[in-house]
Amino acid sequence: MNRRKSRELAMKLLFEMSVNSKSIEEAIEDYKENNVVEDDLDFDYIKRTVEGTFLKEEFLKETIEKNLTNWKYNRISKINIAIIKIAIYEMYFDEDIPDKVSINEAIELSKKYSDEKAPSFINGVLGNIIRKKEQSQ
């Protein structure tokens, strides 16, 4: 299974759902119907991560808002929100993934799917979150 490709698809589905108001099942089925599904995608991880971000929506949004510097949540692009939410979800609720991996993967996704300022913005937000998380442990 390729976790990077699976994370990327989870991000795309989150973004699509934020724009089109689809359910998780609809978004996954639409993807499977309209794309060549690669064998190395981990649909268990994808579904767990996307569902988890919805179940933890309030926590994720609050965590992002508390860690913004000179930004408002509603000014962040939907693609960056999807990327950040996945990283935070993994950092707090998926013990199999090291925090640094989640942050690195979020930065890589932002390089591929967002603007040139996004990687440093996302790194800053996630860096704030991880520092606070480590201090509380």
pLDDT tens figures, 10-67: 999 999 998 888 888 899 899 999 988 888 899 999 999 999 999 999 999 999 999 9
Task: Report the Cα 12 to chain-centroid distance in Å.
Answer: 9
What was the pLDDT predicted at 63? Answer: 97
Question: What is the number of structural domains in the chain?
Answer: 1
If you ran DSSP here, which 8-state letter would residue 38 be given? P
Q: What is the CATH number of the domain that holds 122?
A: 1.10.940.10
**Model's pTM, two decimal places?**
0.94
Q: Which residue segment(s) compose the domain that 39 sits in?
A: 3-136
Q: How far apart are CA 124 and CA 130, in angstroms?
A: 10
